[in-house]
Structure 1
Amino acid sequence: MENTINGEHIVQIRGVQAEGKMAAPEKRLNRFVHLVAMTERLGNALGAMAFTWATIVLLGGYPDNLDSTYFWLATAIVFLEAIRMFTNDNRLDYQLFFGTRGDFSLLGWNGLLIVMVYLSAVPVLLSKKLLPWRQVVLNMCMLAAIVMLVFIFSAKLTYQLMIIVYEVSALLFLSSGNFQIPAAVVRVVLALISLSDGVEGVEGEKGSKHNLEPSLNIFYGMVLGQGILYIVACLVEVFSFIPRRYLIRSGGFGGQMGVEYVNSYYAYAFEKCMGGAVLAPKKISLITFAMDSLNSDSSRKKLYGVQMLHKFLKKEQLRTKTIKKLTKDTNTVASLFDMLGWTSEGDEEIRLFAAKVTAELAGRLRVVQIPGATQLVASLLDTDHQQTTRDHFLFIDTQMGREDSPIQQVGMTEQDSLVLKYLKQMAIYCLIPVDEPSNMHQRNSHMLRWWKRITKRWSVPEEEPSTDQDFLPIQGLLIIERLANFDPGNCMEISRTTGLISKMIDFISYRNHMTSTNEAHQIMLPSLSLRVLRRLASTEGKLGVTLRQQILEHPFVLRNLEKILDDDSGSSHELKQLAAEILKNLAMDRNTSADIGHILVIISSLMRAFLSQDPSSSTNSNHLLWKNAGQALAMLAMESRDNCLVMLMEQGYVFIRQLTTMMQDDRFKCIAASLLWNMCEHAQSELSNSDLKELSYILREVLEGIMDAEGAELEVLIGLSSQICQVIPEDFAREVEHGQIKEKFIKRLVEVLNAHMKPSAHCPRIRRVIVQHAIYLMEFNSRYANDFHKCWMVEALSMVERTPSRAENYRLFSGDTGLMEHNTPLTALVARAKELMGREWVRGISSVT
């Protein structure tokens, strides 16, 4: 079963238990290794006891009572055990001479098989008629050749036994990987000979031989037990291919590399079991092995480790456990980042897999603890394309591109290895059945079908093919995106990395210039770059201001974004939506908003995305594009008369009418209301009579919305209402008077003012727009001052004076940082409102008296 996460397959491996937890795939192999290691360690224990017994009891207690034969037998066994004990301190020496693991080596068997193939099976290969049965015939011929050697020289039993002993000796010699089996056989033979002879060969008086016989029996019994345990351990180890092959299939390892992974893990587990206390629990797992390999000094082991970790991260049942262990090990994570900077020839593969593993972990890492981590990630984004496009022709080295063609030489050693490889492949081809083109008779053969099922079950799966994400810049962008999404501290590290943001901006136009990569890369690079830039541009607080400034320092960023928005044929809705969101965030700065407005194509593209689609029937991607384009336009319209005029004069649109239509839909009400608010505030002189009529048509809906809305929506609707009151005051007064909602509306404004004595970041201007609305009403008709007096507006204004807030000086907030500061302070507006109310109140008292 497979799932897909971030474009890669996540494989669910078999063996899931009923509770929902899966047993570790290496569990069977670990049990087998424990069995073999325990057997060998018991043999080692008996050997140590025999060594101590021989040196202290026999050679130390009865040296004069042993004849030369038994003395030298005991001495030989002691020296044999001494060699084993001293080589035990060196892992390589011990494995070379006395290790159980690999005692029957594959190369030895291959050598024997090659000899047998070319001595007895070559004629069979020449027979085309027996081709379907050649494997079975070859095996039978080899067996017959071995048996015939027993009877070919003599009919005497003695000679036949000698031939059998010779063949067995040759088999052991060819198949033995070290001296463990021969040494164990020597122990057993010497012990059996000595036990069979008893103590008849000892010298001395009867009293001096007291306890000698039981001492010798104990000694040779321990030696015999040691030899038997070693032989058993070696014979059991021969069948290690069964749990190893099971781990290959159940663990999802494929190809020759998978076989090497498992073989390396088997050696690692065996070494762990052979060390430390016998009964102490051994924490052995594939994940631990991969991490230890990654931290080793060998490049080959590092490659194995990082490739295995990548496989574990793609398995759903091992993913969480692997991430948990890796994120707790700072040294391993530091090693991964260090490998990202390996640019030497031959390190491409390990660098790619290190990038893949880092990309999987990046969503849970804080790189502040790893010096230079983001700079190493930035090195993944280096491409030849970026270098050639960035350099002016005056700075290009004239020697660039001159490379000497390397001369390929093949030595005799390499040729010999190829010959040996060919011979081994021939042997495997002849002895192991494979699928062949066959006739109907062969397909109907039960034996062949049964054999095919067996070979298929125990065959090694193929390696997984490479994906479109096997490209270093793509992996680098994935790492940066996940780091930025996880922790703001990572964003700060990204801002400090030299050239990183510039490289990502270059990738926005990657599709337009790159021809050396495949189509998938040309699509993914701009998309990932835009996603990372969106995250950086949307960062809150002062860090966000810094990141947006760094993005804007690139001279081509606005131009690249404009190309994406204006490209109707090549850019997808996703790219346009990301570009619109980036522009929205960049426009938070007043100067940047003006710079964007100077590129008329950007505003035209945003208006086309915002107005030319039917929002009610759009898909999710189209809706996001529409929303981000509208938000970008609303941000550009804030505090910018020029941008508002550009939008209002855009050809092909009746901007005000279309915005008033969008006010009917609750999904789009806030964005449309914000744009209408800014149009009335900054482009009032350019509004036509038809535009003013459209505003009067939606006035009732705006007033009704104020009665029910809360938060940011209430702030926008009150702001729009105040601007409509200023633009068309007669229509506003008529709507309020004839609708008989004047008292209710004014009361609502005062209540909202009293309820927001503590301004919040999501609606910092609500007290400002209410006071502004009251000023516009009283300036149009002073009689509204009496209505505000009745609702205790003066007391509310006094409370505003006593509770000033710096937050009310800004139009919006990014985190805790205010943006777009107002020119007129709120206190000045409160003073103006109180002045208007006081003047009308005096007039009212005079008229009464």
Structure 2
Amino acid sequence: MKYKKGDGADQPNDDGGMNGSRDAPPSIELDIIQHHGGGGGGLGSGGGGSTSFFEPTWREDTPVSGGSGQGCSSGRRGGREPPEKRLTLFALRLAVLEKAASGLGTLAFAWATVVLLGGFASDLTNTDFWCVTVILVGEGARVFSRSHELEWQHHATLTSTAGGALRSSSRVIRRFVHALAAPDDTRARAAQFQRQVVLLMKQRTWHAPDVSLLPYTGWVFLSKRIGRVLNWLQVLSASACVALSVMRLWKHDYFGAGAENKKDNMRPALLLFYTVALVEASLFLLEKLYWIWKVSVCKLLDQVSADCDLGAYGLVSLKRFFYDAYSRCISGSIFDGIKMDLVTFAEELILSDFLDEQLIGVRILQRFANSKSGSAGDTLRKVGTNPRSIERVVEMLNWKRPEEEEVRWCAAEVVSKLAGKRQNALRVSGIPGAIESVMSLLYTGRGAPASAGDPQALAAGAHGRSYDYLQFNLLGLRILKKLSRDHDNCGKIGNARGLLARIIGFTHASQPLLRNPLAPDSQVRAVKRALQVVKMLVYTTGATGKALRRDVAENVFTVSNLRGILQHGQQHMDLQKLAMDILTGLAMDDRAKEMIVSTGGVVKLLLSIFAVNVNADECELGREAAETLAMLALESEAGCSAILKRDDVLDQLVSALDDKDVRSLNAARVLRSLCAYSGDEHRTRLSAVTKAMPAVLRGTMTGSDKTLEVCVGLTTQICRFIDGERFADELRAAGLDERAYVERLVSILRQYRYPEIRVPRMRRFLVQQAVWLVTSSSSALYAGLLRELGMERLLESVADTTSELECYHVFSGSVAIGKHRENFSAIVESALQLISGGDAAAAAAGGSWTE
């Protein structure tokens, strides 16, 4: 089924300009196929009219796409390189220097132990012996402890820096500022703030950087300081090695007096050892200088953080990422680290047991998913194809503790982005309990769905806490809106216990909210998104759509909430438009139609909106109201009676036929339904519909497609109130005669010899009009003209090509709803008998086919 309109994609104020902000969610674009065509003409303009429920569509489901589609991912591959590749390249180059230094150090260690100390230990001078020993011990310890030093440094970045980032996050800072700004009870508020920070870092396992390795040593032997100690020891060892090697190579006094000729091999052995030791230590110091240059002088981490747009968590996450890449290059192949990327790194972090690591990981995913630089497509593709990652971010939606608010927020944004792509949306909804997890975002703090239009209720629902329920409500509704693009997901949403009631609860907008121009935009947005979700649910096709329409209509608040929006939403026409769309969709169900009609004031409000025709926006609303009225009047005597309660409704509908827009098309449909389905008590009043005959005849002669279809159908209904002589007068008043009119009908039927999807009732209306002509008071004239123009052969062709398409009033996608009361084949057979001069019984039967 093609959804009627843009469901929010055509509303720039719904999500626009909110990217990366906690006050409002980022922009989401939905590529929703519109259900209304553009400007079609009026009844006399020959325009195409509008696409609506009155004709079927080929496809029932539309592909789901988000603002970060293939174009973004291809732009990522075809544009600039990902910023984190500079870090992995930096790690590779450091690893090359480190492995070269470690290799030379190993060679020097082996040479010193085997050759010098093993072969010349007794012949070495005291100076060389102690220089070799010091260099050997220092460099040997440095080479063989390098991996452990990296391990300590890596542990130092695990959660200690992350905790610092958390403590400086906007959420905690805001609480701290509020605590300082309080004039009274400041100490209590400060203590509460401290408890919140401690609670944030509290885990069931030890916090590795804060573990004291020895008892009673305090901060001296904390594990997070061991890495720094080992690093400085490495530098001191290398510096000592350089100094000793240069000193011995410079002095060159390896032997005592007169001993040079006795030990010819000792000189080159010592020269080689001191040279290798000097080169090895120099490479290590060069590595350190390269590190300081890139990190401290060139600010590599800051540059990459800015390019990745990671915000306050950039340095923390990138430092962790770099040490992981560097460790892989050192422990394995030097090329292992360059295979890493930040998305995979973030996926590993969100699976951690530490809250601060989870926050860093999900924050990276949230930033990349919302990125406009081209990384969004790649990020969503990677996360979407990793079942563990999807399950984890969906699980995070259920985390409701205050210290987990930031994690939950970021996870909700990631899920929202994932739901914008069709395959990912199916994977998200396929996770057991995923719909229930999304439903948890709609919690308002009161144990029941709060009205988005009641700010006092929302404030009271928070019970004095700063937990921002409304923002989570907006994210939950946005995720549901995207998931609703898929037919199966609509069924899952409808089957989730209590979810439909919560969504409908958010459609309530109080009069103060709708009429207050200074009302918070977030509350209006919540109402709008809820309406969009309900609209997409009621427009679902097949048995699922039928059940959803019934469930939505049976909620006692649905129609009354929509009525409130129609009554007070003059300043929010987009909400009124959505409300009328929902009413139109619900009207496909007979029981729902009865509920709408029986709810006081709904039809009256629709007629009032239809009557207003001042500016372009109000004309658009008038078109929507006309379509809703057409659906309410279709095959519903109660709906027709409710419409006819207004005294001037017929005059307004007739005058609307001259408008050159879709409003005229739906006005004609309303008039046709009023003539066809109103009870006998309205027959006298409906005789005034004959005023529409000039406009209808003009549309018949010059219109096309849907305009032509509805004009022919309305002509048949108007003819119920006049005879053949009156019809001839109407033809002459329009500048026509009987022959010209019949020729037009025959030419139309010849043009639509086969069923047409765009106008599925065209041939039915034409045959019905032909039946009326040959049963009117001028039947002999019309029967002769029809035979002369070949109508019999055309009707035989129609009889051979009738289809189910022509037997229904409306369609939900390709699913037909509301079967015509008369069989089309029987009408065609009766028309053939009448035109060919059949029996009187056929004539009498033919006169009843006016529906």
Do they superpose with TM above 0.5?
yes
Specify every segment of 5 or more residues in structure 1 that has no aligned partner in the other structure, as ranges.
Answer: 107-172, 391-399, 407-465, 844-849
1:643 aligns with 2:700: no
Match of 1:367 in 2: 425
Deviations 1:418-475 (A, max 9, x none): xxxxxxxxxxxxxxxxxxxxxxxxxxxxxxxxxxxxxxxxxxxxxxxx9999711111
Give the secondary structure class of the aligned counterpart of 2:660. Answer: coil
**How far apart are residue 676 of structure 1 and its match?**
0.9
The aligned counterpart of 1:794 is 792
Question: 2:616 maps to which residue?
Answer: 618
Gap change, CA 1:56 and 1:6, over 3 Å in 2:
farther
5 Å-filtered alignment, 1:119-138, equals none
Going from structure 1 to structure 2, the CA distance change for 1:777 and 1:514 (only over 3 Å counts) comes to closer
Is 1:736 equivalent to 2:731 in the alignment?
A: yes
Quote the Cα distance in structure 2 between the aligned partners of 1:290 and 1:356: 15
**Deviation by residue 1:583-641 (Cα, 9 ceiling, x = unmatched):** 10111112221221111311111111111343xx233xx34422222111111010011
Q: Report SS of the residue matched to 2:743.
A: helix
Q: In the alignment, does 2:708 pair up with 1:714?
A: yes
Structure 2 matches for 1:18-417, cutoff 5 A? 21-22=79-80, 24-25=82-83, 33-55=91-113, 57-58=115-116, 74=132, 77-78=135-136, 80-90=138-148, 93=151, 95=153, 178-192=232-246, 194-195=248-249, 200=254, 209=263, 211-239=265-293, 240-241=295-296, 242-249=299-306, 251-252=308-309, 254-255=311-312, 257-271=313-327, 273-274=329-330, 276-278=332-334, 282-283=338-339, 285-323=341-379, 325-326=381-382, 328-331=384-387, 332-365=389-422, 366-370=424-428, 371-372=431-432, 373-385=434-446, 387=448
Give CA deviations for 1:627-681 in whole Å, capped at 9, x if unaligned: 222111111010011111111112xx51111111111112022111101111111
Structure 2 distance, partners of 1:674, 1:193, is 104
Shift, 1:822, TM fit: 1.6
1:368–1:493 CA contact under 8 A, matched in 2: no
- Aligned partners of 1:4 and 1:575: how far apart in 2? 12
Correspondent of 2:829 among 825, 828, 831: 831
- CA deviation vs aligned residue, 1:88-114 (integer Å, no higher than 9, x gap): 555754538999xx9xxx9xxxxxxxx
Q: Which range moved further: 24-33 or 696-705? A: 24-33
Using the alignment, how far apart are the partners of 1:5 and 1:268 within structure 2? 41
Q: Structure 1's 675 and 70: CA in aligned 2 closer, same or farther, altered over 3 A?
A: same
Q: Classify the secondary structure of the residue corresponding to 1:381.
A: coil
8 Å CA contact 1:684–1:727 kept in 2: the answer is no
- Aligned-partner SS, 2:811: strand
Task: Give the whole-Å Cα distance in 1 for the aligned partners of 2:561 and 2:606.
Answer: 14
Cα deviation, residue 233, structure 1: 2.6
Shift of 1:741: 3.6
Give 1:385 shift. 3.5
What SS is found at the alignment partner of 1:293?
helix
Point out the more displaced range, 584-593 or 705-714. 705-714
Shift of the 295–179 alpha-carbon distance from structure 1 to 2, 3 Å rule, reads: same
Whole-angstrom CA distance in 2 between matches of 1:819 and 1:729:
33
Q: Secondary structure at the match of 1:823?
A: coil
Aligned-partner SS, 1:812: strand
CA deviation digits over 1:234-256, x for unaligned, max 9? Answer: 2343341323344455554555x
Write out aligned runs for 1:4-23 (5 A).
Answer: 6-9=15-18, 21-22=79-80
Q: Within 2, Cα distance between the matches of 1:55 and 1:657?
A: 111
Contact 1:761 1:812 in 2 (8 A): no
TM-score by length of 1: 0.71
Distance in 2 between residues matched to 1:8 and 1:319, nearest whole Å:
19
Q: Indicate the SS of the match to 1:376.
A: helix
Q: 1:789 to 1:53 in 2, by over 3 A?
A: farther
User: Would you say the 8 A contact 2:321–2:345 is kept in 1?
Assistant: yes
Tell me if structure 2 keeps the 8 A contact 1:34–1:273.
yes
Give the 3-state SS of the residue equivalent to 2:809 in structure 1.
strand
Partner Cα distance (2:620, 2:96) in 1: 64
Correspondences of 1:444-843 after superposition (within 5 Å) = 471-485=471-485, 487-509=486-508, 519-568=520-569, 572-614=572-614, 617-619=615-617, 622-650=618-646, 653-667=647-661, 668-683=663-678, 685=680, 692-693=687-688, 695-730=689-724, 731-736=726-731, 739-781=735-777, 782-783=779-780, 784-839=782-837
CA RMSD of aligned residues (A): 4.3
Q: Distance in 1 between matches of 2:84 and 2:154?
A: 26
Contact 1:759 1:807 in 2 (8 A): yes
Q: Aligned letter for 1:708?
A: T
| Deviation, structure 1 residue 771 | 1.7
Contact 1:70–1:201 at 8 Å: present in 2 too?
no
CA distance in 1, matches of 2:546, 2:136: 79
**TM superposition shift of 1:507:** 0.9
Q: Which amino acid in structure 2 is aligned with residue 7 of structure 1?
A: G
Whichever residue aligns with residue 802 of structure 1, its letter is D
Q: 1:574 Cα deviation (Å)?
A: 1.7
User: What letter matches 2:410 in structure 1?
Assistant: F
Q: Distance in 2 between matches of 1:247 and 1:771?
A: 73
Shift of 1:540: 3.3
What secondary structure sits across from 2:446 in the alignment? helix
Higher mean C-alpha displacement, 310-319 vs 71-80 = 71-80
Inter-CA distance 93–310: structure 2 relative to 1 (3 Å threshold): closer
Residue 63 of structure 1 and its aligned partner are, at CA, apart by 6.2
Asked if structure 2 preserves the Cα contact closer than 8 Å seen for 1:590 and 1:639, the reply is no
Deviation at 1:501, TM superposition (A): 2.1
CA distance in 2, matches of 1:566, 1:98: 62
| SS in structure 2 of the partner of residue 317 of structure 1 | coil
Asked whether the equivalents of residues 312 and 319 of structure 1 are also in contact (C-alpha less than 8 Å), the reply is yes
Displacement of 1:336 in angstroms is 2.1
Change (3 A) 1:90 1:545: farther
Cα shift at 1:9: 4.5
> What does residue 42 of structure 2 align with?
none
Contact residue 10 and residue 316 of structure 1 kept, 8 A: no
Aligned partner of residue 540 in structure 2, secondary structure:
coil
Residues 444 and 450, structure 2, Cα contact 8 Å, conserved in 1: no
State the Cα deviation string for residues 700-740 of structure 1 (Å, max 9, x = none). 33223223333332221111011111222343232236644
Gaps of 5+ in 2: 1-11, 21-25, 27-74, 165-226, 452-459, 842-851
Q: How far has the Cα of 1:528 moved from its partner?
A: 1.0
Larger mean CA deviation between 209-218 and 772-781 belongs to 209-218
The 8 Å contact of residues 484 and 535 in structure 1, kept in 2 or not, is answered as yes
What is the CA distance between 1:518 and its match in structure 2? 8.5
Q: What is the distance in 1 between the residues matched to 2:469 and 2:729?
A: 64
Letter in 2 for 1:302: Q
What SS class does the counterpart of residue 411 from structure 2 fall into? helix
What count of residue pairs does the alignment treat as equivalent?
685
Give the aligned residue type for 1:595.
Answer: M
Percent identity, aligned pairs only, is: 28
Do the aligned partners of 2:792 and 2:832 also contact (CA within 8 Å) in 1?
A: yes
SS in 1 for 2:701: helix
CA contact (8 A) 1:505 1:557 kept: yes
CA distance in 2, matches of 1:62, 1:563: 101
Match of 1:385, SS? Answer: coil
SS in 2 for 1:8: coil
The AA in structure 2 aligned to 1:6 is D
- Rounded to whole Å, the distance in 1 between the matches of 2:155 and 2:660 is 82
Distance in 2 (CA, whole Å) between partners of 1:311 and 1:336 is 14
**CA distance, structure 2, for counterparts of residue 68 and residue 9 of structure 1:** 74
User: Within 2, Cα distance between the matches of 1:48 and 1:374?
Assistant: 59
